[in-house]
Amino acid sequence: MANEVILRFNEVTFVYGKKPILDEATFSVRRGAKITLMGQNGAGKSTMFRLVMGDLHPEEGDVIIESGMTKALARQVIPRDQLGFTVRAFFEAAFPGKKIYDIEPRIKKVLEVVNIAAPFDRELKSFSGGQQARLLLAYALIQDPDLLLLDEPTNNLDPAGIAHLAQFIKDSKKTVIIISHDADFLNAVSDGVLYLDSFTRKVEQYVGNYFDVVKEITARLERERMKRVRIEKDIQHRKDQANFFAQKGGHMRDVAKKMWNKIDELEEDIPESRQEDRTIRQFAILPQPELTGVIIEIDSVSVVKNHKPMSKKLSKPVTLKKGERLQLVGPNGIGKTTFLEALATGKAKGVTIAPDITIGYYRQDFSTLDFDATVWDTLSRAMKGGDHEKLRSHAAGFLIDAELLRAKIGSLSEGQKGLVAFAELSLQQPGLLILDEPTNHINFRHLPIIAKALDRYEGAMILVSHMAEFVKQIRIDQGLDLGNL
């Protein structure tokens, strides 16, 4: 039946490590629904997916799934220990302990669905970020689930890939729950929202398109903020009066006592500030001092055609000086990430970077971060020592609290890793900034602040981003389309 409930959280309470995620959360999902799971970075959205998959279990309450219903999760990233797998081995891993005799035709079918061609003996690590995103979706689809969970499925996808995925979801009869920060994509596919409130740790359920729900939630939070301001102003006025009457003595002291009782009542009614109200602070990425002349000159680039790398000489060299920006575009698999990595590591042929230039590199898979290091150690190295209070204050601007500072990079959510990467970049003073999909995993509330920081950056910049609305907020001087070379 189309309207039957196939998934229900019934007063679910869950704590991940020492962090409370859910507190008696209750909601339901009906068959065939296309639902967005929304919430702050690190709120626990991916953890909720693991509860649905049965990898984790609630401390209290029940996760109830219709009997016989199959489910599959398309993860954000391919696990590091699987990057050496071949395409065939990767898909065989979707059926642990089973021998699938028709695995090759199944693989061929799901690869056609996600619009990617790949030999079965090719290793996963040789694919681009966008191609890996398609493989992750295909990994879930090959299991033919009734319930499909998509965790940041548009990350690294080019516009054609995003459009293809959106159409697939709209045409599919499967029940789909999506975590994503791509607002346009969500608005195109969603008919409802589950909102994980990281303050109350409840899940609120909304019906309607994504933009309308976001507007409704934003308006509600603004009403709560205004109510908090009004009550706090009233309380301060009453405190001033109570203190005045208390000093008068006699009967006035009784009046003051009654006023203090009323103040206590009002303070209990103050709506506390929710985490969702918070965004990262305005920040700056200062350039390397004394930048002069040409910082980088690109005479040729390496692209991938028919799975083979080849060098393409540019008809006119691309040069960047202080304050100049280049946007690199091209379809998934053309070699954008590979080229940026070669630039960042000094291995790009046909490229000249001025001596002693400090390069700041934001890589889409965060592999420039040491996953075994703590956040504190990572930022301390970038700051080159310095004052502890200054480091704590800098981290707090990126919503990195004392607990996160002690955590290892590898234990953070993908969104938190992204904020750590920006916190690190803003300490490095790069002369050349290389950004590979810097919007991936980042909460939509933070994106305008990040765009403003990049727009104000005065060094040379090379940017790859599939998010057109983000790029529009940054001045771009030149474009280079690898697909047209």
**pLDDT of res. 123:** 92
Strand order in the sheet with 325-329: 359-362, 432-436, 460-464, 325-329, 478-481
Q: What is the pLDDT of residue 289?
A: 92
pLDDT on residue 139? 94
Express each pLDDT in 388-431 by its tens digit. 889 999 999 999 988 899 999 998 888 899 999 999 999 999 99
Q: How far is residue 23 from each of residues 59, 105, 201, 271, 479, measured CA to CA in Å? A: 10, 45, 5, 18, 49
What does the pLDDT read at residue 273?
A: 55
What is the C-alpha separation between 181 and 155, in angstroms, rounded? 9
The predicted pLDDT at position 279 comes to 85
Task: Please report the pLDDT score of residue 210 as a whole number.
Answer: 86
Residue 144 falls in which region: left (phi positive, over 0), alpha (psi -120 to 50) or beta? left
The HSE-up count of residue 126 (CA atoms within 13 Å, CB side) is 15
Q: Give the C-alpha separation, 414 to 337, whole Å.
A: 18
pLDDT at 8: 96
Coil, strand or helix: which one is 143?
Answer: coil
Please report the pLDDT score of residue 272 as a whole number: 58
Alpha helices for 196-321 (secondary structure H): 210-248, 251-268
pLDDT reported for residue 17: 79
Q: How is residue 118 written in tokens?
A: 């790949």
User: Domains in the chain and their CATH numbers?
Assistant: 5-70+145-215 (3.40.50.300), 294-484 (3.40.50.300)
Structure tokens at 56: 């984790």
Residue identified by tokens 């692209």 is: 303
Integer Cα distance of 246 and 279 in angstroms: 41
The SS3 call for residue 146 is coil
Q: In this structure, which amino acid lies at residue 85?
A: F
pTM: 0.69
Q: How far apart are CA 390 and CA 386, in angstroms?
A: 8
| Phi-psi label, residue 138: left if phi above 0, alpha if psi -120 to 50, beta otherwise | alpha
Residue with token string 């930048």: 291
Residue 75: closest CA among 132, 16, 6: 132
What distance in Å separates the CA atoms of residue 35 and residue 368, rounded to the nearest whole number?
33
Mean pLDDT in each 10-residue stretch from start to end of the chain (485 residues)? 83 89 94 91 86 94 92 88 93 90 92 86 86 90 93 81 88 92 88 88 89 82 79 82 77 77 73 63 94 94 82 93 95 88 91 95 91 94 83 93 91 90 95 94 86 97 90 95 88
Residue 421 CA to chain centroid, in angstroms? 12
Round to whole Å and give the CA distance between 287 and 358: 9
Joined together, the tokens standing for residue 329 give 């575009």
* pLDDT for 269: 66
Q: What is the largest CA-CA distance in the chain?
A: 93
In angstroms, the CA 352 to CA 294 distance is 9
The amino acid at residue 195 is: Y
| DSSP one-letter string for 316-328 | EEEEEETT-EEEE
Q: What is the pLDDT of residues 337-390, one digit of tens each?
A: 889 999 999 899 999 999 999 999 999 888 899 999 999 999 999 987 667 889
In this structure, what are the phi and psi dihedrals at residue 418, rounded to the nearest 5 degrees?
-60, -40
